[in-house]
């Protein structure tokens, strides 16, 4: 490439942003690089690079980039201008009105909700896939990420304004879309046992999947991203523990600690540490020994010839492993996802009478309200209130 061509390419804003996004290829979905370069501004790209330097988690950064690209595309379509920083309260209220609305009211008021022209343009640009109002969780996530980006830019946004909170509360109430669980069904102990039963052959892939399922569940229901990025360096041996803590002569069980570091709801310097005891430790050690893994990623890809690869599994691979094991166990894969291990752990803890604070230490939930919801659900399904006519 000669100097003149190079200067022309670099002077083109989209090409310049595409070249800058190449530096983030290990994190961002680069198959969307050209689309991101078209949607994002120079300041947006610089913000993402700054977040990378600050050590923001890969999944968080992907979500921020995706939501930022959508917000930029929506703002240009709905207002004819890029996102302003800081965003005015009126623009955020417009976003809520465009994405949370009542289909019944739309039938009598065509101006209610997102204008048809805006929706059509976003669909043509492959930014909008939803026909009708968005899920409240999606709207709230984008608003949260929008606010996060404001903070990283050192700016104050209107996201805590009483008018916005009231509008969002009313819009969610008017929405007819029920909240969807990340996994329709929880992977409780009975389901887990059926999945583990499919991993009993001598194939190395079975050894790996057995370790994944046991470790993910027993360590408090780890998120699929935490399982995928687990490294040997995060695991340390602990003293063996008694099978029965009340009996000093009780047989002992192996124990290891997993140092989680940065989690979705925590920060890197927090004491994110959970324990594994008994069979999950044995399964994890057997996998590491068979795979001859002494450093780096714990759970790695295995090709069709059962040769171990150097690269770690992706979070999506963890999800697919859970679904594949469900199919092998005669369960409906569409009803389960990797998050079912997390919800299943807390549901099972509630069923077995484990105190909520103790379970939260293992699951690393920061929200008592979120963790308690699994306990309440377990109590309802096993309680008398729903069983008056039996």
- Length of the chain as a residue count: 390
What pLDDT score does 215 carry? 96
Q: Quick one: tokens of 16?
A: 């310049």
Which of 35, 45, 20 minimizes the C-alpha distance to 9? 20
Domains and CATH numbers, the chain: 12-174 (no CATH), 189-382 (1.10.443.10)
Place of tokens 């690393």: 364
367-373-378 Cα angle (round to 5): 140
* Tens digit of each residue's pLDDT (9 = 90 or more) over 19-58: 555 555 555 555 555 666 677 777 877 777 777 777 666 7
Question: Higher pLDDT residue, 246 or 261?
Answer: 246
* Tens digit of each residue's pLDDT (9 = 90 or more) over 175-217: 655 555 556 788 999 999 999 999 999 999 999 999 999 999 9
Assess contact for 297 and 211: CB atoms under 8 A. Answer: no
DSSP 8-state class, residue 297: B
Task: Please report which confidence band the pLDDT of residue 351 belongs to, taking 50, 70 and 90 as the band edges.
Answer: confident
The answer to whether residue 12 scores a pLDDT higher than 50 is: yes
* Cα 313 to Cα 306: distance, rounded to the nearest angstrom: 14
């Amino acid at each position: 490439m000669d100097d003149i061509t190079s200067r022309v390419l670099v002077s083109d804003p989209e090409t310049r942003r595409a070249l800058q996004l190449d530096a983030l290829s290990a994190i961002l979905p680069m198959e969307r690089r050209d689309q991101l370069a078209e949607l994002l501004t120079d300041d947006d790209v610089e913000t993402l690079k700054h977040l990378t330097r600050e050590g923001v988690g890969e999944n968080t950064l992907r979500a921020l980039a995706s939501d930022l690209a959508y917000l930029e595309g929506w703002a240009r379509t709905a207002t004819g201008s890029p996102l302003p920083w800081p965003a005015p309260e009126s623009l955020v209220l417009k976003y809520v009105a465009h994405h949370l609305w009542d289909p019944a009211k739309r039938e009598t008021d065509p101006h209610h909700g997102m204008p048809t022209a805006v929706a059509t343009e976003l669909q043509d640009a492959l930014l909008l896939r939803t026909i009708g109002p968005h899920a409240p969780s999606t709207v709230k996530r984008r608003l949260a990420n929008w606010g996060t980006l404001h903070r990283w830019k050192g700016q104050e946004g209107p996201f805590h304004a009483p008018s916005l909170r009231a509008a969002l509360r009313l819009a969610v109430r008017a929405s007819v879309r029920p909240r969807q669980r990340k996994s329709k069904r929880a992977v409780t102990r009975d389901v887990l046992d059926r999945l583990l039963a499919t991993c009993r052959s001598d194939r190395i892939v079975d050894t790996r999947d057995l370790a994944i399922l046991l470790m993910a569940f027993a360590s408090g229901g780890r998120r699929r991203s935490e399982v995928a990025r687990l490294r040997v360096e995060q695991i340390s041996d602990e003293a063996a523990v008694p099978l029965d803590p009340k009996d000093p002569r009780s047989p002992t069980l192996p124990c290891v600690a997993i140092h989680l570091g940065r989690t979705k709801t925590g920060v890197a310097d927090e004491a994110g540490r959970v324990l594994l005891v008994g069979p999950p430790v044995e399964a994890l050690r057997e996998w590491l020994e068979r795979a001859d893994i002494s450093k780096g990623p714990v759970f790695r890809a295995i090709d069709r010839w059962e040769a171990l690869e150097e690269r770690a599994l992706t979070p999506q691979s963890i999800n697919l492993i859970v679904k594949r094991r469900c199919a092998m166990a005669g369960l409906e894969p569409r009803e389960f996802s990797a998050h079912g291990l997390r919800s299943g752990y807390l549901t099972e803890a509630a069923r077995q009478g484990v105190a909520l604070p103790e379970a939260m230490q293992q699951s690393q939930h920061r929200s008592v309200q979120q963790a308690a919801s699994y306990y309440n659900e377990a109590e309802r399904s096993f309680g008398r209130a729903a069983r008056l006519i039996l």
